[in-house]
Chains A and B, each alone.
Chain A
Amino acid sequence: MATRTKDVQTDTEELVTATESRAPAKQPLIVPADQPVAFPLQLPEFSARLKTPAVGQRATRPDGRLHGLGQTQYIDDITFPHLIHAKVLRSAHPHARIISIDMSAAEALPGVLATLTGKEIPVNSFGPTLQDQPVLAAEVVRHRGDGVAAVAALTEQIATDALELIKVEYEPLQPVFDPLEALEDDSPKIHGGDTNVYTSKVIKKGDVEKALAEADHVFHRQFQTQAVEHVPIEPHASIASWDANGRVSVWSSLGRITLGREDLARTLDLPQSKIRLIGTIVGGNFGGKNEITNEPILAMLSRKTGRPVKSVFTRGDEFISSTIRHPFTMDYTTGVMNDGLIIARKIRLVLDGGAYCSWTATTIGKGSILAAGPYNIENLLVEAYAVYTNKTTTGAMRGFGAPQVCFAYESQMDDIAHKLGMDPLEIRLKNAFTEGSASPTSQTLQSVAVKESLVQASERFGWKEWQR
């Protein structure tokens, strides 16, 4: 760290040297009270932005200066005249049928301007692959993060108070939390039908059983990963404003506005031309802000009240009602020859999907394709299943299943090296992809750089010289 800091020659250092030699008068760091300014009138120009060719330059970010000045407008920094605030009541049960929702006491609270339940939403379902998720649960709640009703009020506090006045009658249903239990025949079926498996994937190459039988050594281990949250420092936030022409403008911390508008058009049953979706600078995404959340709710509440409506997730909302990373249960069986050559790998992945599909199709796809690691393995079988449970919905998160399978394949790689008495670097170099290698899906790989990265990292680290 310290050494790298020294290596970076910055314009700042030039500036410091220059100002030292010119020795101008000392500038006050805080603007005097009688001269308020919103930004410096003399702005630095960082040289990398001015150079051609542009590609390869360490160009500073156009948004960076506003970040540093505190001037970037995130959703929560935007306000409008007559803006009101919405809050969503979350489910009291992990799995239950909704018998009734009584909004009367909430509606009677002074300062409450409108309420909303799932039945009022024109098309109450969404999802990037399967549209299995309600905007507000109307019949069944499938996890504790499901919204069941919403309130718009003059202040956030009134809206929060109003949530406590909503009376929801539930009939609890048997929940299932463990993904392996959810696979069993007699488990409760969270979305009906005869299975909780909602997506699966197979990748098959060569003859894995035969190769395992021929291997000098067979390694087996089960690996598990946990549920984790994206933790963007900016919680999800959105504002909707339905105008007199019947056109709705939505400001949202969403990372994909084109498809977000499609989701809004579908749930609100509106033509896309009637919807404007504006994505401002997002305060951290990491995959977690790629789905609509409260946007249709705010749009409906704005239509009901004729006022712009804002909602900002609390940190608690962020955890329980946005998506999280899929926990994986991974069984790895690997056949290896005495010289360290991997000849077979059999993998079974079970993804704990939580209550709804969300981005599972992508996660199971990437997880399966990548599961064997960046290695040439002739005989391969990957079977992956995603299963519903009555827990927080899992979705897109930086790496889509790859961090999970990498933990498994690379841990096992070291197990193998240890058993065979090989250096972890050598066994990887022996098996790694090279230019033109065939991937597990038999794709011919180009611009491959596994070995290059292994060698370069080992040199930088001092792998050969390293002493305990």
Chain B
Amino acid sequence: MLVQLKVNGELRSADVPAETTLLKLLREHLGLTGAKLGCDVGDCGTCTVIVDGESVNSCLMLAARAAGHDITTIEGLANANQLHPIQHAFEELGALQCGFCGPGMIMSAKHLLDKNTEPTVAEIRDALAGNLCRCTGYTKIIEAVVVAGRAMSSTDARP
């Protein structure tokens, strides 16, 4: 079936079988390999993308359902001028080690910070609980989300 959707602001379409997940569509048909396959059942969160402003496990969502919706993937965060503040903070604070959880983790962080740039540590932990990381103990990730939130709020405050 033909699936048309908006990915990172671009209108994209692909002819895929109905059983294709959004993750498979992104990775195998649209060449967007940022979202990863880690467990394929919604446990690890490394496939996290944002659909119409809400984070979802793209391994659990059919591509067909995403048709007509607005998808943001990790590839859509940086712009021509700069890294997204979350990417900037994650890199600077060494929040990613092997990096495999990174794209999903950053999308979950974005989902949180887009709604609240000054979350408490407890809120950050809650927001990231769907993204498993085996390398970092989540410590530097949480620090990076705090720092990114500060950067985002001051960005938002600009005239």
Contacts and interface: CB of A to CB of B under 8 A. Distances in A.
Direct contact of A and B (CB under 8 A): yes
A281 B102 CA distance: 13
B112 to A, nearest CB: 15
A460 interface: no
Interface in B42-93: 43-44, 46, 72-93
Contacts of B99: 63-64, 66-68, 72, 281, 283
B78 A69 contact: yes
Given A46-B91, A281-B99, A31 B38 contact: no
Given A27-B81, A46-B91, A65-B91, A283 B100 contact: yes
B22 interface: no
B72 A20 contact: no
Contacts of A314: 40
A74 B36 contact: yes
B94 A61 contact: yes
Nearest to A39: B78
Which of B36, B72, B106 counts the most A-chain CB atoms under 10 A from its CB? B36
Contact of B79 (A24, A28, A44): A28
B150 A13 contact: yes
A43 to B, nearest CB: 8
Nearest to A20: B154
Contact of A284 (B100, B148, B154): B100
B100 A74 contact: yes
Contacts of B79: 27-31, 37, 40
Interface stretch (A3-11, A163-171, A173-181): A3-11
Nearest to A42: B81
B49 to A, nearest CB: 10
Query: Across chains A and B, which 4 residue pairs bring their CB atoms closest together, nearest first?
Result: A70-B34, A67-B99, A283-B100, A70-B74
Interface of B: 8-11, 27, 32-41, 43-44, 46, 72-94, 96-103, 106, 121, 132-135, 139, 142-143, 146-148, 150-151, 154-155, 157-159
Interface of A: 1-2, 4-5, 8, 10-13, 15-16, 19-20, 23-33, 35-44, 46, 58, 60-61, 63-74, 76-77, 230-235, 281-286, 312, 314-315
Given A40-B79, A233-B36, 16 more contacts: A1-B142, A12-B85, A12-B150, A15-B88, A32-B9, A46-B91, A61-B94, A67-B98, A67-B102, A68-B87, A70-B74, A233-B44, A233-B134, A234-B100, A282-B98, A315-B44
